[in-house]
A and B are shown apart, each in its own frame.
Chain A
Amino acid sequence: MAQRAIREYDGKALFSKHWEDYFSGFHYSFKSVLVKSKDELNAKAKEHGFEWLRNEPLVAKPDMLFGKRGKNNLVLFKKDKPGDVDLATAADWIGQKGSHTTTLLSGQHGVLTHFIVEPFTPHSQEQEYYISATTVGEDDVLYMSVEGGMEVEEGWEEKVNEVTIPINMSDIDINHAIRSNIPSGIPADKKEEFISFAEQFFRFYRDMNFAYLEINPIVFLDNNELAILDLVARLDDTAGFMMSEKWGDIEYPTAFGMEDQSPEERAISEADAKSGASLKLTILNPTGRIWTMVAGGGASVVYADTIADFAEANGGSVGDLANYGEYSGGPTTGETKFYAETVLDLMTRHKDSKGRDKILIIGGAIANFTDVAKTFTGIIQAIEVYAEKMKEHNTKIYVRRGGPNFEKGLKDIKEAADRLGLYIEVYGPETHVTDIVRMALEK
C-alpha cells in the first residue's frame, strides 16, 4: 500500500496542528470530536474545552472514509430547520444510526461506527468554495472552484479550474500558476484572500505528503475566519518514517463495507510487519475451493488471474478462489511454516458446498535469490501438521517453482506428501508457471 485514506477528523486535526506554520492571515478554530457512540458523545460534552457541544447547534455525520454523505442523507444538520440540532438530538441520531446496517447508494453496506460532530456554521452559498489537490500522472494538480458543496461534481469541466504543478516547480512559479488560473467567478474583494489560501493549501498538501486532499466546501467567513466543512484526505504512507512527528498517531481505517480483517489476516500482517520478508494474505471467500500459497507479488497476481479464467471455463466461478496472497523476499523457515499453517487451517474449516475436492496451489515463478528448499521446509512442516485434515477435504496439491535449490525443494515436498498419503503433482521451471492451474481445473 502507498496511498491510504484517513478519517476526516484526523485530516482536520492535521490542519489544526500545523495551522500557524502554513496559513498565515487566516483563522481556523478546530472544534470537532470523533465518537463511536451516543454515550461517548455525551461523556465528551462534559469535558472541559468541549462546552460548545452543549452550547452550540451541531452537525453530525459518519466519518468512515466514504463520500457523498449528503446524498446518502447521512448528514444531520436540522431537525425542523437548519441549525436546530442540539446535543441530545445528535446523540440520539448517532445511537440510532449505529444500531443497524446502513446501505449506501453505491451498494456498500455495513454498520456505522465512527461519527464526527462539529458546530453548525451558518453561512451563505456565496461563501462556499471548492479546493483539492492530488497527483495526476507525474504532476500535482490543484483544483479550485467558486462553487463548493455537493453539486461541484456535476459540470466539473465548466466549474473547476485545474493548475498542473510539476514536481520541480519553484515556489514563485507555483504561486504564479495559481494566480493566473484562479476561477473567474470569485468576487474581486475575495480574490486576494482566495489566492493566498490556495497557495498555502498547496504547500500544506505537498509538505505533509498528502496523496489527496479535498475540502468541499471551504467556507470563507468574515474576519478571515475559515471553516472546513467537509474534508477527504489520503496520505502517502511510505513517507511515514519521516513524518511520524508531523502526522502524530494516524489511523488507517479499512474501507466502509469491507469487513475488518479476520484474525488470520491480522496475524499475517503482524508477522509481515515484523519480518524483513513480505507476507500477505487476503481471504476472498472462506468457503472457497481453491487455496493458494504463491511466492512473489507478480506471480500471485497471475495465479489469481489464471484461476479465475479456468474456474469460469470449467463450470466453476471466481468464488472458487478462496484467498489471495504471497510470500517473498526470503522468509525464514519459521515464517513460511506459520504462513502455510494459517492457510491450511483456513482451508480445512469448511467442506466444499458442492462436495468437490479441495485444491492447494503451491506456486511461484523462478526465484531470484530465495532458497526454495528452505521455504519449502516450512511448508512441509505445516503440511505434516495438517495432513489428516487435508485428507478429510480430499485435498489435491499442485506445486510449481524454480530458483535457487529448487530441485531439492520439489523432491522434499513430493517425498513428504507421498509419505503422508496426500495427492501431489510437482513441476519445475520447464513447466509454464501457471499451467498447474489448468492441470488442476481441467480434471
Chain B
Amino acid sequence: MGALFTKDTQAIFWNNNKSAIQRMLDYDFTIQREKPSVAAIVAPTSGGNFDKYFYGPEEIMIPTYKTTKDAAKEHPSADVLLNFASFRTAYDVTMEAIGIKGQFKTIMVTAEGIPERMARGMNQAARDAGIVVIGPATVGGIAPGAFKIANVGGTIENIVNSKLHRAGSCGLVTRSGGLFNELSNIISINADGIAEGVAIGGDRFVGSVFIDNLLRMESNPQVKYMVLLGEVGGTEEYRVIEAVKSGKIKKPIIAWCIGTIAKHFATGVQFGHAGASANADAETAGAKNKAMAEAGIYVPESFNSLPEKIEEVYNKLKKDGVIEEIAEPVLKEVPSNRRSKNFICTISDDRGEEANYCGVPISKVATPDTGYSIGDVMALLWFKKKYPKWASQFIETVVKTVADHGPAVSGAHNAKVTARAGKNITDCVISGILTIGPRFGGAIDGAAKYFKYAKEKNLSPQEFLGYMKKEGIPIPGIGHRIKSVRNPDLRVSGLKKYAAEFFPKTELLDYALEVEKLTTSKKDNLILNVDGCIGCLMVDMWHSLDYNEDEIDRFIEAGALNAFFILGRTIGFIGHALDEKRLAMPMYRHPWDDILYQIDEAEEL
C-alpha cells in the first residue's frame, strides 16, 4: 500500500495508441522524469521492433513486441499494464497479463462494455493475484509529478493549469473519467491540487472500487484528505461509510453522489453510466449523500457548491498545519513544433568533440595500445557490443580465412576484367562484390539458417537430410569441388581447431559434423565446407554470448553472416585490382574459340 505510482514507475502499453503514448511522454518530459513512463508497447499486428516517439524536442525509440509475455520478459521492472485493447479482446489481454507471475502490480483497462461475466472473472483473478485493476471503462489515473496514465488530464496546458504536474494534498476518486479532469481543476482552483487520483470506471463491474482506492490513499502520507465523486446506483459508497465509522479511514473525505435527477423519473431513463441505476432506495444519490453526511463525511448541498466545500476543508487543514505550502517545481516546456526524423542512427555519432563507435571514441580503439582489434571494431559497429577476446579474434580469423581464394573465382575474375577495362578500384570492387550471392560465398547465411533450424527442431541428421531433400534444396555449407575426407580443407581444420580451443561451446558445429558423417558416407567430397563451418560457428559464438534465438535469427535474416564474406573477400578483390594495375594489363577480350556459338534464325511470329 502507500502510493500507487512513483516517479520510477514504468508501464507496458498494450496497443500502439500513438496520441495517448505521446501524451504520457510529454508529461514525463515536462515533469523531468529520468526514464520514460512507457517502457514497451505491445502491438500484435505491427511488423517493426520499435516505434519512434518524441521525448521533449528529441525522438526516442520505444521497443514494440507482439505479445505481453515477450514485453514483460524484456522489461521485468515495468509493473503497470495499460490495456488499451477493445472490449472484444480486453479480457484475454488482462488474463494473460495476470498469468505472468510477479510482473504486474497494476492493470488499467480502458475498454467499455466488456461482458459482465468476463469483467467479474477478470477482476476476481486480479484480486486473487494481488493486482490492482483500474477500470474497465476508465480514462485511468494519475500520480501528479510521478506517473500519468494515457489521456488523463488532457492537454499539457490543462495539466499545468489543473496543477497535475506536481503532487498536491488531495486523493481523488471518481467513477466518471470526464469529471475526473473537472474535479482536478476544481481542486486546483480551490485547494492545492491532487496527490493521487483514480477514475475507477463506468461499467457495472470494475476492478478496484471506491473503498480500495480510499484505503490506499489513507495509507499514503502524501494524501491529506480525499474527494470522492460517487454516482446513483450501487452500494459502494456504503462501504466507505463503514470504513469511516469504524475508524479505518481517519482522513477527511469530501463526497458527493451525482444523479440526484433520477428520483424525478420513474424508470426507463438511464442517467449516466451502465453502473448508474438505482435498484433500491438506498442506491439513490439522495440517500447516499444523506448517509455520507450522517457518517461525518463532508457533503455539500449540491454539486454546484462542491467547490466551496473543498475550499472550506482545505483551508481548515491548512490552518491546522496538516497541509503545508507546496513549492512549485520548475517545468520543462515541450516544444510546440517538432519534426519527426527521417533517419535513425544507433551505432556511431560524429556530433561531439570526437566521433565515436557506439559510444567509444575512435582514438580509444584505433592504435594498437588500446587493445582493440579490427574484430572489436566490427563487434561495436555491427552488433553494438563489446565482445570478449575469443569472439573478436574469431571474427578476425573468419575475415582472414575468406580474404582470397585465387583469381579464378567469379568475384576475383570480375575485378580483374574490370581493372583491365581501365576502371578505378571502386568499380573493380563493386563488380567483384556483385557476384557474391547464393552461388558464390553466399552459403554462410543458408548454412547457419538450415543447420540452426534442424537443431532447434531436434531433427536427427537422417531426418535433416530427408527434410532438405523434400524441400528440394542442396544443403548449404556441405560439399566441395576438390576437397574430401581424405584431403581435408585446411581452412576448415583451422577454424575447428580455434573453436575447440576457445569457444565455451560448439553445439551447432558438433551437430553439423554429425551431418557430415552421414553425407560423406554417401560421397567422399560431401564435407562440411568453409561456408558451413563459419555459419555454424557464428551461431555457436552468439549462443555463447547469450543472444537469444530471435536475435540470432534476425542476424541471419539481415544477412550479417554473408557480410563477413563480403568484408573479407573485398581485401582479395582490391588485391587483384591492384595487381592488374601494377601489371598494366591491356583490355581483356574473351577468345572466340572459347565460346560455343549456336545461332538459329529468329522465328517470325
Contact of B121 among A137, A168, A324 (CB under 8 A): A168
B125 interface residue per 8 A CB criterion:
yes
Chain B, residues 107-121, CB within 8 Å of chain A (1/0): the string is: 000000111111011
- In the bound complex, how far is the Cα of B270 from the Cα of A211, in angstroms? 17
Contact of B182 among A209, A301, A318, A365 (CB under 8 A): A365
Stretch binding the partner chain, chosen from A96-104, A152-160, A183-191, A433-441: A433-441
Known: A258-B268, A309-B302. A167 touches B154 (CB 8 A): no
Residues from 197 to 253 in A contacting B, C-beta threshold 8 Å: 206, 209, 211, 236, 238-239, 241-242
Chain B contacts for A435, CB-based, 8 A: 304
Most B Cβ at <10 Å: residue of A135, A305, A307, A318: A305
Contact: B304 with A304, CB < 8 Å?
no
Contact of A328 among B124, B178, B268 (CB under 8 A): B178
B265 interface residue per 8 A CB criterion:
yes
Contact: A2 with B186, CB < 8 Å?
no
Known: A368-B181, A403-B158, A432-B186. A284 touches B269 (CB 8 A): yes
Chain B contacts for A404, CB-based, 8 A: 154-155, 158
A367 interface residue per 8 A CB criterion:
yes
B204 interface residue per 8 A CB criterion:
yes
Most A Cβ at <10 Å: residue of B19, B128, B182, B204: B182
Contact: A403 with B155, CB < 8 Å?
yes
A70 interface residue per 8 A CB criterion:
no
Stretch binding the partner chain, chosen from A114-122, A292-300, A344-352, A416-424: A292-300
Chain B contacts for A151, CB-based, 8 A: none
A308 interface residue per 8 A CB criterion:
yes
Contact: B272 with A366, CB < 8 Å?
no
Chain B contacts for A80, CB-based, 8 A: none
Interface of A is mostly: mixed
Chain A contacts for B162, CB-based, 8 A: 366, 429
Known: A299-B178, A301-B272, A432-B186. A366 touches B117 (CB 8 A): no
CB distance from B181 to the nearest CB of A (A): 4
CB distance from A380 to the nearest CB of B (A): 22
A302 interface residue per 8 A CB criterion:
yes
- In the bound complex, how far is the Cα of B259 from the Cα of A242, in angstroms? 32
Contact of A429 among B158, B202, B285 (CB under 8 A): B158
B400 interface residue per 8 A CB criterion:
no
B274 interface residue per 8 A CB criterion:
yes
Chain A contacts for B264, CB-based, 8 A: 308, 318
A138 interface residue per 8 A CB criterion:
yes
- In the bound complex, how far is the Cα of B99 from the Cα of A408, in angstroms? 47
- In the bound complex, how far is the Cα of B268 from the Cα of A81, in angstroms? 38
Closest-by-CB residue of B relative to A138 is B120
Contact: A369 with B115, CB < 8 Å?
no
Chain A contacts for B166, CB-based, 8 A: none
Contact: A403 with B302, CB < 8 Å?
no
Chain B, residues 11-23, CB within 8 Å of chain A (1/0): the string is: 0000000011000
- In the bound complex, how far is the Cα of B333 from the Cα of A234, in angstroms? 53
- In the bound complex, how far is the Cα of B316 from the Cα of A134, in angstroms? 46
- In the bound complex, how far is the Cα of B259 from the Cα of A304, in angstroms? 8
- In the bound complex, how far is the Cα of B184 from the Cα of A429, in angstroms? 11
- In the bound complex, how far is the Cα of B178 from the Cα of A139, in angstroms? 29
Chain A contacts for B232, CB-based, 8 A: 301
Chain B contacts for A310, CB-based, 8 A: 304
Known: A167-B124, A365-B181. A296 touches B176 (CB 8 A): yes
Contact of B261 among A255, A258, A305 (CB under 8 A): A305
Contact: B307 with A432, CB < 8 Å?
yes
Known: A255-B268, A284-B265. A369 touches B205 (CB 8 A): no
Contact: A298 with B272, CB < 8 Å?
yes
Contact: A308 with B261, CB < 8 Å?
yes
A43 interface residue per 8 A CB criterion:
no
B421 interface residue per 8 A CB criterion:
no
Residues from 57 to 97 in A contacting B, C-beta threshold 8 Å: none
- In the bound complex, how far is the Cα of B125 from the Cα of A318, in angstroms? 44
A314 interface residue per 8 A CB criterion:
no
- In the bound complex, how far is the Cα of B176 from the Cα of A433, in angstroms? 14
Chain A contacts for B174, CB-based, 8 A: 298
Known: A297-B202, A301-B231. A368 touches B120 (CB 8 A): no
Residues from 82 to 137 in B contacting A, C-beta threshold 8 Å: 87-88, 113-118, 120-121, 123-125, 128
Known: A238-B113, A241-B88, A368-B152. A138 touches B271 (CB 8 A): no
Contact: A367 with B177, CB < 8 Å?
no
CB distance from A365 to the nearest CB of B (A): 4
Contact of B304 among A241, A321, A438 (CB under 8 A): A438
A1 interface residue per 8 A CB criterion:
yes
Chain B contacts for A242, CB-based, 8 A: 88, 115
Contact: B114 with A238, CB < 8 Å?
yes
Closest-by-CB residue of B relative to A318 is B264
Contact of B303 among A3, A206, A241, A306 (CB under 8 A): A306
A402 interface residue per 8 A CB criterion:
yes
B420 interface residue per 8 A CB criterion:
no
Chain A contacts for B60, CB-based, 8 A: none
Contact of B260 among A1, A3, A305, A328 (CB under 8 A): A305
B267 interface residue per 8 A CB criterion:
yes
Chain A contacts for B153, CB-based, 8 A: 368
B244 interface residue per 8 A CB criterion:
no
Closest-by-CB residue of A relative to B123 is A138
Contact: A365 with B179, CB < 8 Å?
yes
Known: A242-B115, A309-B302, A324-B271. A366 touches B181 (CB 8 A): yes
Closest-by-CB residue of A relative to B202 is A297
Chain B, residues 24-37, CB within 8 Å of chain A (1/0): the string is: 00000000000000
Residues from 258 to 285 in A contacting B, C-beta threshold 8 Å: 258, 282, 284
Contact: B189 with A167, CB < 8 Å?
no
Closest-by-CB residue of A relative to B274 is A2
A430 interface residue per 8 A CB criterion:
yes
Contact: B124 with A138, CB < 8 Å?
yes
A254 interface residue per 8 A CB criterion:
yes
Contact of A309 among B116, B260, B268 (CB under 8 A): B260
B165 interface residue per 8 A CB criterion:
no
Contact of B124 among A168, A309, A403, A432 (CB under 8 A): A168
Contact of A368 among B151, B185, B268, B302 (CB under 8 A): B151
Known: A238-B113, A255-B267. A434 touches B178 (CB 8 A): no
- In the bound complex, how far is the Cα of B206 from the Cα of A386, in angstroms? 42
Contact: A282 with B269, CB < 8 Å?
yes
Known: A429-B158, A433-B182. A167 touches B117 (CB 8 A): yes
B273 interface residue per 8 A CB criterion:
yes
CB distance from B159 to the nearest CB of A (A): 10
Closest-by-CB residue of B relative to A328 is B178
A166 interface residue per 8 A CB criterion:
yes
- In the bound complex, how far is the Cα of B139 from the Cα of A403, in angstroms? 15
B521 interface residue per 8 A CB criterion:
no
Chain A, residues 353-376, CB within 8 Å of chain B (1/0): the string is: 000000000001111110000000
Chain B contacts for A432, CB-based, 8 A: 186, 304, 307
Known: A255-B267, A369-B151, A429-B185. A302 touches B303 (CB 8 A): yes
CB distance from A133 to the nearest CB of B (A): 12
Closest-by-CB residue of A relative to B264 is A318
Chain A contacts for B181, CB-based, 8 A: 365-368, 402-403
Closest-by-CB residue of B relative to A294 is B178
Contact: A302 with B116, CB < 8 Å?
no
| Chain A residues within 8 Å of B, Cβ to Cβ | 1-3, 135, 137-138, 166-168, 206, 209, 211, 236, 238-239, 241-242, 254-255, 258, 282, 284, 295-302, 304-310, 318, 321, 324, 328, 364-369, 402-404, 429-430, 432-435, 437-438
List 10 additional A-B contacts (Cβ < 8 Å) besides A302-B258, A305-B260, A324-B261. Answer: A238-B274, A239-B115, A241-B87, A305-B258, A308-B264, A309-B302, A310-B304, A367-B178, A402-B185, A403-B181
The 5 closest A-B pairs by CB, nearest first: A298-B176, A296-B178, A239-B115, A365-B182, A298-B179
8 A-B Cβ contacts within 8 A? A3-B204, A236-B115, A284-B269, A296-B176, A298-B176, A298-B258, A305-B303, A318-B261
